Each structure stands twice: as C-alpha cells, then as structure tokens.
Amino acid sequence: MGDISLPTPLPAPTWPNRFQHVDTLLDHPGPSTDPNFIGSEAVQCFLCEDSKVLIISTGGLGCEILANLALMGFADIHVIDMDTADTIDISNLNQQFLFRPKDVGKPKVIVTAEFIMSHIPGTKVAPYLCPDTYFGKIQDKPESYYMQFNLIVCRLDNSVKARRWMNATPVAMVNPDMPESLKLMIDSGTEGLKGQARVILPSIMSCYECSLDMLNKQTVFPICTIVNTPRLLEHCIKWVSMLEWPKVFPDKKLNTDDLEHIQWLFMHTSTHTHEFKIEGITWSLTQGIVKNIIPTIMSTNVVIAASCCTEAFKLMTNCAPRLDNYFMLIGEMIDMPVKKEWMLERLIRALVERQDIQAKKPSLSVNGCSLYLQAPLQLECATCPNLEKKLVNLVNVGDELMVMAGLLPFNLTPRVLLKD
Ligand SMILES: [Zn+2]
C-alpha cells in the first residue's frame, strides 16, 4: 500500500453564505439553549477551523456520517478503518454511496477521503496514516493520538471487543484537572431495520460498558422444538442444517459459502416446511439464516447517521440540548394476525396477551377513526358498542392499527392480518 498518494484538500472556497442554514442555528440562542451559549462567529469558526473529529468506520453508516459532518462545516475529520485489508467489493456499491464501480478493489478509507474532499471543498479528511499504510487497529494507537480530537464517532460493527476497548480508552483518559481530556463520544450501530445512536460523556454518563448486559443475545431454539414441533421457517432450516446434514454427510462439514451446500439445504428445508405446512421458504432466507446474515438497510443507516451528526453538531457548538442519552430506531412492522370472526373485544384481549407488545388497557383507532377508547368515560360509552362488532366490519386487511396504552411510552402501529 506504500505507493498510494495521499489526497490533498481543495482550498476552502469563499462563496458567501455557504453555511447559511447552519449559521442560522448558531447566530442566536433558541428557547432551550444553554444560558452559557453565546451565538457568535467564534462558534462558527471553531466548527470550521479548530474542531477535530475522529470517525471509526468506513462502512455504510460511517460514509453517511462523514458526508453529513463535512456538509455541516466540520472541516477536519479523521477516519480509521479497522480492517487492515478492507478494499471495496462490488457488493458494497449499493450500500455505500461514496463508492463507484471504478473504485472496486481500492482501499475504502482512501476512496472515502478522496470523494469527500473532491466534492466538498475545504474539508480535510485524513485517513489514519501509519508510515506506509492507512489502516490500523484502534488498539495500536497511543493515548496521545486520541487526545488530539474533540469528538469520537464510533461505528464498530458488532465487535463487542473493539467497542469495549474504544469505550474504555476515553474513560481512562479523563483527568479532572484537564477539561480538554474529556473526549465526547457518539456510539452508533445498525442491524437490519433497527438502529441506535448514543451520546457518551466518558466518566460522567452511562457508557457502553454499563449496558453490556442489555446486548441482544443470539436467538437459540430448543432442540425439541426443532425436532418435534417446528413452527417457524428458522426451526426447519436449523433442523436440516444441524441434524439432517451430519446424518447424510457424516464426513463432510457444512460450508455456508458453498452454493451447492446451500442448494441442498434449501431443497430439503422446502420439503420439511411443506410437511409442517409452514409457508414462505426461499433460497436467500435459507442462506441468510445459516450464514447469520443481517441485511444492511440504507434507510436505517441514513436515519442513524442523521441522529449522530445532529448530536455531533450540538455537542461541538452547544447550540441546543444534547440527546440524553439514547436514540433507538425500531423500523420493524409488528404483524397482528386475527381471525375474521373475531369481535373487536377479542382483538384487544389478543393485544394484551402479546408478550412483545405488553399493552395494558389499550385504546385503538384505525385510519384516524377511534375504534375503542378506554377513557374518558363519555368516549368509552360512545365507542364500547364496537367491542361487540366483528373485525371484518371494522378494519381492512393490512390496515395499521394505532394502539395507545397507559404503560406504552409511544403509540404502536401493528398491521392487521385478517385470516379465515
Ligand atoms: Zn459505564
């Protein structure tokens, strides 16, 4: 990699009102701005000239964060790619919008830096530079390296080990006598339709380590369910891959990268699911489950990156109160299968019974019309005749129910699936 030339930043253009929209936020304090905030040119200059941000990741989310920060006026951004041999693969092109077909095979971190610097003049993107490489383990860098930044934005895939290290380092660096030793952190992550962004002030706020035991455990299915009473496609795929494969091929290890192996699994799972009347098996689902693939969804990356960058902007300028301290996106649709002959009252009972919803005394509406309201009394009286009505007369297939309940901190919108 030694012969790769470093991209050089384009000179900052001097067109007037370039950051007009951002400057509007910094000119005057807002209604909930910290009383110490003095909107001024000094804050704008800090953003463009003195602030230094480190982004750890050049994945789909990292690219999105980098572009957003550069467009907001952050002018000195450093990027580390943890993977020593991370070059652009053709499969990256649909999720990382900074990459083009001509970039396939090149190191991600270089292409990322070049793209941003050539499209957003005045931005300096420094890929982490060892004597002859742009890559490296975050663990190899000394404390002095991290000390130069004001803010660290992490997206460490799902590597718990790396995240714990990256969390512990700024915590250990905090020196109460040196305010500048406090490195603000934003931790982010996405997984399919779910994502999270989190602000961490090391040693002051709860950090990654504090919530380690809240991490999602991998779903495991009891073996007796897989063998005797499979209900899900996952159960059937596990049955074929864990039990049938070793029986049929005692001497051959299942290779999840081998397309012929996946084809065999798919064929046998199809037969198995047919026997148990479970519908919907596909080749890609089979592959996804045996390989444990969670799809990257661009819209999730975009929402999480926007949240991270808004927080970065607020942390660096103090122009508005920061996130306290967790933002979570759950983009998944909850399906609510119901029987056609059910009354509304039965649906409410089903909602209360659902473990994943846990709604007590829910009120329901659909398409803006109230179906049943628990309170106040007048509205309860007006809507309670609906409890005795059949669902087919109240909702259509695929309608989104709006569920409101005292204990739910938000409104749930499960999708109704009418069945015979
Ligand atoms: Zn902690």
In this prediction, residues 408-418 reach a mean pLDDT of: 72
User: For the CA atoms of 224, 290, 299, 201, what is the dihedral angle to 10 degrees?
Assistant: 80
Domain with residue 413: its CATH number is 3.10.290.20
304 shares a domain with 287: no
- Tell me the residue range of the domain where 263 lies: 223-291
pLDDT higher than 60, residue 84: no
Choose the final residue of a domain: 280, 307, 329. 329
User: For the CA atoms of 230, 232, 234, 236, what is the dihedral angle to 10 degrees?
Assistant: 40
Residue 323 lies in a domain: yes
171 shares a domain with 40: yes
pLDDT higher than 90, residue 312: yes
340 shares a domain with 268: no
- CA–CA–CA angle 11, 14, 18 (5° rounding): 110
Residue 206 CA, ligand 1 centroid: distance in Å:
5
Residue 176 CA, ligand 1 centroid: distance in Å:
17
Q: What is the pTM of this model?
A: 0.73
Q: State residue 283's pLDDT score.
A: 86
- For CA atoms 143, 5, 82, 203, give the dihedral sign: positive
139 shares a domain with 180: yes
Q: What is the pLDDT of residues 361-394, one digit of tens each?
A: 888 888 888 889 988 888 899 998 999 998 888 8
176 shares a domain with 227: no
Residue 167 CA, ligand 1 centroid: distance in Å:
8
364 shares a domain with 306: no
Cβ atoms within 10 Å, residue 178: 10
Which of 22-36, 76-90, 146-160 is predicted with the least confidence, judged by mean pLDDT? Answer: 76-90
Residue 393 CA, ligand 1 centroid: distance in Å:
52
pLDDT higher than 50, residue 397: yes
Residue 211 CA, ligand 1 centroid: distance in Å:
7
Residue 2 lies in a domain: no
How far apart (Å, rounded) are the C-alpha atoms in residues 330 and 168? 27
pLDDT higher than 50, residue 2: no
Q: What SS3 string covers 256-323?
A: CCCHHHHHHHHHHHHHHHHHCCCCCCCHHHHHHHHHCCCCCCHHHHHHHHHHHHHHHHHHHHCCCCCC
pLDDT higher than 70, residue 192: yes
Closest of 35, 18, 72 to residue 316, by C-alpha: 72
- How far from the centroid of its chain's Cα atoms is residue 169's Cα? 23
Q: State residue 216's pLDDT score.
A: 58
User: For the CA atoms of 156, 157, 163, 169, what is the dihedral angle to 10 degrees?
Assistant: -10
Q: State residue 4's pLDDT score.
A: 52
pLDDT higher than 60, residue 111: yes
Q: State residue 355's pLDDT score.
A: 66
342 shares a domain with 197: no
Residue 160 CA, ligand 1 centroid: distance in Å:
14
Residue 318 CA, ligand 1 centroid: distance in Å:
23
Q: Of 95-109, 174-188, 329-343, where does the model show the most confidence? A: 174-188
How far apart (Å, rounded) are the C-alpha atoms in residues 323 and 314? 9
Residue 102 CA, ligand 1 centroid: distance in Å:
43
Q: State residue 231's pLDDT score.
A: 80
How far apart (Å, rounded) are the C-alpha atoms in residues 49 and 76? 7
Closest of 169, 167, 150 to residue 159, by C-alpha: 167
Q: State residue 166's pLDDT score.
A: 87
In this prediction, residues 4-16 reach a mean pLDDT of: 68
Choose the final residue of a domain: 277, 312, 329. 329
Which of 105-109, 136-140, 195-199 is predicted with the least confidence, judged by mean pLDDT? Answer: 136-140
Residue 141 lies in a domain: yes
Q: State residue 158's pLDDT score.
A: 61
Q: State residue 131's pLDDT score.
A: 38
Residue 12 lies in a domain: no
Domain with residue 258: its CATH number is 1.10.10.520
Residue 178 CA, ligand 1 centroid: distance in Å:
20
How far apart (Å, rounded) are the C-alpha atoms in residues 413 and 398? 11
129 shares a domain with 50: yes
283 shares a domain with 407: no
Q: Is there a contact between 54 and 153 (Cβ–Cβ < 8 Å)? A: yes
142 shares a domain with 73: yes
185 shares a domain with 139: yes
Domain with residue 152: its CATH number is 3.40.50.720
Report, in angstroms and rounded to the nearest whole number, the Rg of the chain calculated over CA atoms.
26
pLDDT higher than 90, residue 36: no
Residue 13 lies in a domain: no
Q: What is the pLDDT of residues 115-158, one digit of tens each?
A: 999 998 888 888 764 434 455 677 888 888 899 999 999 887 66
Residue 389's SS3 state is: coil
376 shares a domain with 303: no
Give the pLDDT band of residue 26 (cuts 50, 70, 90): confident
Give the pLDDT band of residue 5 (cuts 50, 70, 90): low
Residue 164 lies in a domain: yes
Residue 101's SS3 state is: helix
How far apart (Å, rounded) are the C-alpha atoms in residues 170 and 147? 9
Closest of 108, 114, 132 to residue 2, by C-alpha: 132
Residue 8 CA, ligand 1 centroid: distance in Å:
39
Please name the helix (run of DSSP H) or strand (run of DSSP E) that holds residue 109, with its range, or none.
Answer: helix 108-119
Residue 173's SS3 state is: helix
Which of 26-40, 209-223, 309-323, 330-344 is predicted with the least confidence, judged by mean pLDDT? Answer: 209-223
Residue 166 CA, ligand 1 centroid: distance in Å:
12
Q: State residue 1's pLDDT score.
A: 42
How far apart (Å, rounded) are the C-alpha atoms in residues 258 and 396? 44
Residue 135 lies in a domain: yes
Total number of domains in the chain? 3
Percentage of residues in the chain with pLDDT exceeding 90? 25
Please provide the average confidence, as pLDDT, over all residues in the chain: 83
Q: What is the pLDDT of residues 254-302, one digit of tens each?
A: 888 888 999 999 999 999 989 888 888 888 888 888 877 777 788 999 9
Write out the catalytic residue numbers. Answer: 224
Residue 121 CA, ligand 1 centroid: distance in Å:
38
